[in-house]
A and B are shown apart, each in its own frame.
Chain A
Amino acid sequence: MAKVTIDGVEVEVADGTTILNAARQIGGDLVPPAMCYYTSLKDSGGKCRVCLVKVTQGSAKDPRPMPKLVASCRTPVMDGMVVQNITSPEVLEARKGVVEFLLLNHPLDCPICDQAGECDLQNLAYEHGAAKTRYEEDRRTFEKIDIGDKIKLHMTRCILCYRCTYVADQLTDGRVHGIMNRGDKSEISTYIEKAVDNDFSGNMIDVCPVGALTDKTFRFKSRVWFTNPQDAHRDCPKCSGKVVLWMKGDDVLRVSARKDQYGEVKEYICNECRYDHKNVADWTVEGPRHIDRHSVIAQNHYERTDLLAMKKEIERQIEFEKGKTLPEPNPSLTA
């Protein structure tokens, strides 16, 4: 076990845990953002540089600070390590710089992008980005291409996090998908116009932090915040069958895997569940999906804590009217 202090909060974590995961164990605002790191994908991380943190004390044994900012997603903690994230102006400045770099060639076509509302880059830019760009030149552009019959690639929106290539490499067999070219001309591509065609290829859509890879069966059907996400499952011989149904009325517009609060899928789903069962009758609906990180969606829907408290208070009043009991008043509403 190693004790590590992040922004003044101490936490004890298993040896070999990364700084990012240690911060996630604490939770809250001091968790560094991550655009390329993905817990379940081996070798991911270290590329986008938004999770940079400052290590002011290397370890209890060797208290020297690290000379440069480090990528928290790939740096393991040491016993006695002291880390600064949001308490370090240097880190915030560097992060602002990285966000500017990420947005430099991004088309900012959020109004027509299907990812809007559940986009990590949108959230990141909202928090750290500048209101205006300092870039005067033309942005790089690419043609939109189909990779397989169900996935559309908008290379212009890509931030080259490499997550989808790791999915293609680690989750599925027969790798035909990777990075071509170099520098800012690099692009995600398949091997000479080959289609990505296997049972789990759809997960590339879920791991994409931006709108570069989108589900062709959902494109332009609805803004994501007008849909109603429901947890559901079915017996699937290929995968766990645990999904989220994105519904409008009784129609299932999209099926996706379930993401945790950091936007990571824990149980990948197969293409059959994703594309071929867009009928509510195929699924056992568990109830509304709790979404807390992707704030834009959460606003239209359920479990707003203030509303829940109000609902409880009304119920309490009704019970009181009936004269059965006199429960304790809710302190949060009387204050």
Chain B
Amino acid sequence: MGKKLLTENINVPGIETFEVYRKNGGYASVEKALKTMTPDEVTEEVKKSGLRGRGGAGFPAGMKWSFLDRKSEKPRYLVCNADESEPGTFKDRYLMEKMPHLLVEGMITGSYALGAKTSYIYIRGEYMYIVRILEKAIDEAYAAGFLGQNILGTGYSLDLYVHPGAGAYICGEETALLESLEGKRGNPRLKPPFPAVAGLYAAPTVVNNVETIAAVVPIVNLGGDEYAKTGIGKSTGTKLISASGHINKPGIYEIELGLPVEEFIYSDEYCGGIWKGRKMKAVVAGGSSVPILPADLILKTAKGEQRLMTYESLADGGFVSGTMLGSGGFIVYDETACIVRNLWTFARFYHHESCGQCSPCREGTGWMEKVLHRIEHGHGHSGDIDLLVDVAKKIEGNTICPLGDAAAWPVASAIRHFREEFEYHVKYPEKVKNPKHFEVEPFVSEKKLEAVGA
């Protein structure tokens, strides 16, 4: 069994209530931080822990905290990004639903470190029932004196609010989130200025993912150095992985970073192998935005080394033969899955969720979706594959926010690794008209067949 830092007590009955959570060692980090540490010491511990943002980009959290403009006379804010909407990612929901007090505790400790007097949890509108769970937890924390004026008699005061969004993926981008929180249309802002200088209401703001804020609790409890002992290299601590797709045991697993990918997929402790005894075809390792990898490249890097569940190992090989850990949405496809159909589904999502502010993303995502729809339904022609590559290239890097990149990367990588499958769709339009075409007759690479024959 791997070490669990966040979810150890998650199955204790009644852990969502304040009493049970407190009895199991809850709110110790608040007491420790507020009574024995200065705010800068807490930030220092987070820096030492090497904690990296769990929302997708993997930016060092301690560094982000230290960028916060502390000289400004404006109030400072900590905002929790609970707008989890990446296809394939559902870890924050689990954490907030089962252990709302863990997030509240992390918010109090984090706000103290940053000197915030008001903090917000921005949650996606579809999680309305979790809003109620969190609000109940916040009420309990107020009643117990962990929130409000003069917390635990230390003189530190904090107000914590939950703010539901209206159901837009783009509001998970931090500046769009802040716009939405201010009550405006959720369009991403141009950077610079970064939120650390001018964020919510133009005041210095830190925006962190739910899991990042929750990880502050074990960091303060254990100390940054002790936390950093879990994991490998620059990927420290544990990570929640939302495993889904064609596996025997889909679900949410807390893993120590550094676990081999092969063990994660095949061991009975985690995913338990591919369902129905089939073969694995491909894996999307970190939510729909990251490049898709074929089975051989996800288990071993291009250099032949074993691939591990870390930020560095998954990114090994760049975008040519690597991917990203992203938000930990681990989607596995077996041999009956159609990569083109899957890609079309992703493209449809990004087309639907583009905010429409900048031209490449607004027009390009729709274009890619239409071309993919055409190919998947047997109306594609030979130029379409190169057209897709070109459109993806023209979107990537030319947009205001990373949504354009997130839409372009899956397209570019799927064509890079599975070009033959796209060609098959163009070549045999009659066969792909059945939506379950590869279940009827799994795709076999003609090149590989030739190689075997020779």
A residues lining the B interface (CB < 8 Å): 45-50, 52, 68-69, 71, 74, 93-94, 97-98, 100-102, 104-105, 134-137, 159-160, 162, 178-179, 181-186
In the complex, A50 Cα to B393 Cα: how many Å? 16
Contact B387 A134 (CB under 8 A): yes
Note all chain A residues with C-beta closer than 8 A to B356.
160, 179, 181-186
Interface flag for B397 (CB, 8 Å): yes
B residues lining the A interface (CB < 8 Å): 168, 170, 185, 190, 351-360, 362-367, 370, 374, 387, 393-395, 397-400
Given contacts A102-B363, A178-B185, contact A137 B370 (CB under 8 A): yes
Contact A184 B190 (CB under 8 A): no
Contact B168 A69 (CB under 8 A): no
Contact A97 B394 (CB under 8 A): yes
Q: Max chain A CB contacts within 10 Å: which of B354, B358, B359? A: B359
The 8 Å CB contact of A101, one of B352, B360, B374, B397, is B360
Interface of A is mostly: loop
**Please, which residue of chain B has its CB at the minimum distance from the CB of A67?**
B397
Note all chain A residues with C-beta closer than 8 A to B352.
182-183
Closest 7 interchain pairs by CB?
A: A97-B394, A186-B356, A101-B363, A183-B354, A46-B190, A104-B363, A183-B356
**Please, which residue of chain A has its CB at the minimum distance from the CB of B185?**
A179
Task: Name 19 A/B residue pairs within 8 A (Cβ), A-sorted.
Answer: A47-B357, A48-B359, A71-B190, A71-B400, A93-B394, A94-B398, A97-B393, A100-B394, A101-B367, A137-B370, A159-B359, A160-B357, A181-B356, A182-B352, A182-B354, A182-B355, A183-B362, A184-B362, A185-B356
Given contacts A46-B358, A184-B363, contact A97 B398 (CB under 8 A): yes
Note all chain A residues with C-beta closer than 8 A to B168.
182
Given contacts A48-B359, A100-B394, contact A184 B399 (CB under 8 A): no
**Please, which residue of chain A has its CB at the minimum distance from the CB of B364?**
A101
Contact A160 B362 (CB under 8 A): yes
Given contacts A97-B360, A104-B363, A159-B359, contact A49 B399 (CB under 8 A): yes
Note all chain A residues with C-beta closer than 8 A to B395.
97
**Please, which residue of chain A has its CB at the minimum distance from the CB of B381?**
A136
Contact B400 A46 (CB under 8 A): yes
Note all chain A residues with C-beta closer than 8 A to B387.
134
**Please, which residue of chain A has its CB at the minimum distance from the CB of B184?**
A178
Closest Cβ–Cβ distance, residue A37 to chain B (whole Å): 11
Contact A49 B354 (CB under 8 A): no
Contact A183 B355 (CB under 8 A): yes
Note all chain A residues with C-beta closer than 8 A to B358.
46-49
In the complex, A68 Cα to B404 Cα: how many Å? 13
Contact B398 A184 (CB under 8 A): no
Closest Cβ–Cβ distance, residue A242 to chain B (whole Å): 33
In the complex, A47 Cα to B417 Cα: how many Å? 33
Contact B190 A74 (CB under 8 A): yes
Q: Max chain B CB contacts within 10 Å: which of A94, A178, A181, A183? A: A183
Closest Cβ–Cβ distance, residue B74 to chain A (whole Å): 19
Note all chain B residues with C-beta closer than 8 A to A49.
358-360, 398-399
